[in-house]
A and B are shown apart, each in its own frame.
Chain A
């Protein structure tokens, strides 16, 4: 078998630039609850023990399974709270973080958001509504803990040769409004008050661009992350997508690209009907990260030699499948999606809590060895 000739950073950059790396880069999206289970910890016992307890658990998993190329910092209950989202505290019975949607933002808040931005709205209105005034007094401590822990976590991962795929997953304005208004109310707003929604999304788009440019540091991160779970064709028709999502997404992508920033689009649910729009983005400017419900092979045909795809191992395969099925699927991805180099081997969405250790190991092993075992 041949040996590796690239660093994780080189390998990931190669894939995004649609060139052939020595082997497929591997970058599973973590979930601390799943990581805890795989290293024999109980997530509900560490969930509120500060941010570094999350990072430490994920690093433990990284070491136990021999590492991989791309990493990112975890989401903790506090990180969700900083975003004004109501979340459950993990328990033994319900060990994952769950966002509990309610109509915390009201229709009249669209005007505030359009005028002052979402961040201002979160700090001055939303957090108090969700968690009460007393929580505002904890913000400084949470920010400080997150900041110190992130720095330490970055150093620890870097020592281990891993490269950060993105500084954070920013939430797309469309998704953020859906979470803060609730999916029901937001969907009604798209019908009854579309202009108010559009105005708010425009301000949030400008804000997101500024935030992304501030957080991104060249040579420290592969991309800037952008998450959208709801705008795809699984939920909404194309006319909604074309009016409320795509124009703003293009603004973000073009503004980032002008500064040399690529986007990691984390796209949950089925995007079959939406994939063609991404061809409008500059070649090599983004990674399309799919969760196993979009037809990745059809997506590849549309995006071949244009954008890198991050794929896509469905949670069902990871948790219910067999190692030989995992190996076969990873080989198929490498052969058919990664044949031109534009592939990052990834979980579909995050690593599920019910992940079988042998399946995760099979994913990593196949990614690390399959191409190197072939004649050069």
Chain B
């Protein structure tokens, strides 16, 4: 199974990026399944995606510690058995660290085997400097285990601000690819995300 985990704080633009990746994958005739796990209202129109040939599973549960362990694995098992997708995209709750999900999936007791697990963390450039002041542990934790950090909403920020934030992120995770983008305006290229797969 191939898995892409899209993480990032609430409101950073995870869902918009996910939809764009999904469209591109469908255009390539790939079979995609999406696992949605958010603490707010579900961000995706599940029916729309289902019409497009996607499998959408909502992963709900009381707390992130419970939901993101057994609940997630059970959901992935169901998806694997029923659909054999080319790719499963997990949109993680904004309150989680995607790296913890990777740890869960690599647990010795996890019955699933993965060909690849990649992490994309979306950062809202307009709120990053405020959030890093008040929620530094979560934001840092989300960035540090990402394969790609997508610096989103660049159309709403100055060049200086974007540069400053990219520099901060590069220090936090020197091995990640950093992509500046505007998911809403589609001012970006999806190539780095597709190359991950």
The answer to whether B134 touches A319 (Cβ under 8 A) is: no
Query: Which residues in B have their C-beta under 8 angstroms from that of A234?
Result: 137-138, 141
| A78-102 near B? 1/0 per residue, CB < 8 Å | 0000000000100001101111111
Contact B70 A354 (CB under 8 A): yes
How many A-B pairs fall under 8 Å by CB?
120
Q: Across the two chains, which residue of chain A brings its CB closest to B11?
A: A184
A102, B130: Cα distance in complex, Å: 21
**A191-B134, A268-B63 are contacts. A183–B71 as well, Cβ < 8 Å?**
no
Is A31 part of the binding interface, using a Cβ–Cβ cutoff of 8 Å? yes
Is A293 located at the chain interface by the 8 A CB criterion? yes
Query: B58-83: which have CB < 8 Å to A?
Result: 58, 60-67, 69-71, 73-74
B39 within 8 A of A: yes
- Beta-carbon contacts of A124-147 to B below 8 Å, as 1s and 0s? 000000000000000000000000
Could you tell me the dominant secondary structure of chain A's interface residues?
Answer: loop
Chain A residues positioned under 8 Å from B135 (CB to CB): 187, 235-237, 240
Complex CA–CA separation, A187 to B94 (angstroms) = 13
16 more A-B contacts (CB under 8 A) besides A96-B62, A99-B39, A354-B71?
A: A93-B58, A94-B60, A96-B67, A182-B10, A182-B40, A187-B131, A234-B141, A235-B95, A315-B69, A316-B69, A318-B70, A320-B69, A320-B70, A348-B65, A349-B63, A350-B62
Q: Is the CB of B41 within 8 A of A100?
A: yes
CB-CB under 8 A from B104, the residues of chain A are 316
For residue B38, give the distance in angstroms from its CB to the closest CB of chain A.
9
The answer on a CB contact under 8 Å between B39 and A191 is: no
Q: A314 to B66: give the CA distance in the assembly, Å.
A: 8
Question: Cβ of A229 and Cβ of B41 under 8 Å apart?
Answer: no
| A320-B107, A348-B65 known; A240 vs B134 contact (CB < 8 Å) | yes
- Whether, in the assembled complex, A233 has its beta carbon less than 8 Å from a beta carbon of chain B, the answer is yes
Q: Choose one: B57, B63, B67; the contact of A229 (CB below 8 Å).
A: B63
| Distance A314 CA – B141 CA, assembled complex (angstroms) | 20
Residues of A within 8 A of B52 (CB): none
Given A192, A291, A355, which contacts B65 in the complex, CB threshold below 8 Å? A291
Q: List 23 A-B contacts (CB under 8 A).
A: A31-B62, A96-B60, A101-B39, A187-B131, A187-B135, A191-B133, A192-B130, A229-B63, A234-B138, A236-B134, A237-B134, A268-B64, A268-B65, A316-B104, A319-B69, A348-B65, A349-B62, A349-B65, A349-B66, A350-B63, A352-B71, A353-B61, A353-B70
Nearest A residue to B61, CB-CB: A96
Is the CB of A292 closer than 8 A to any CB of chain B?
Answer: yes
The distance in angstroms between the C-alpha atoms of A315 and B141, with both chains bound, is 21
Residues of A within 8 A of B62 (CB): 31, 96-98, 349-350
User: Which residue of A has the minimal Cβ distance to B42?
Assistant: A100
B168 at interface by CB-CB < 8 Å: no
Chain B residues in 8 Å Cβ range of A97: 62
B: number of interface residues (CB 8 Å) = 38
In chain B, positions 1-26 with a C-beta closer than 8 Å to chain A are 9-11
Q: A235–B138 contact, CB under 8 A?
A: yes
Interface residue range, chain A = 35 or more
A124-178 interface with B by 8 A CB criterion = none
Q: Are B10 and A183 in contact (CB under 8 A)?
A: yes
Residues in B whose Cβ lies below 8 Å from that of A372: none
- Interface 1/0 per residue, A254-285 and B, CB below 8 Å: 00000000000000110000000000000000
Residues on A with C-beta less than 8 A from B70 are 315-316, 318-320, 352-355
| A residues in contact with B136, CB < 8 Å | 237
Are A101 and B65 within 8 A (Cβ)? no
Contact between B71 and A353, CB atoms less than 8 A apart? yes
Q: Which residues of A contact B109 (CB under 8 A)?
A: 316-317, 320-322, 325
A333 CB to nearest chain B CB (Å): 17
Q: Which residues of B contact A269 (CB under 8 A)?
A: 64-65
Q: How far is the CB of A87 from chain B (nearest CB, A)?
A: 10
Complex: A191 Cα to B130 Cα, angstroms: 7
With both chains docked as a complex, state the minimum distance between the C-beta of B6 and any C-beta of chain A, in angstroms.
17
Asked if B110 is at the interface (CB within 8 A of a chain A CB), the reply is: yes
Q: Which of B63, B71, B107, B127 has most A Cβ within 10 Å?
A: B63
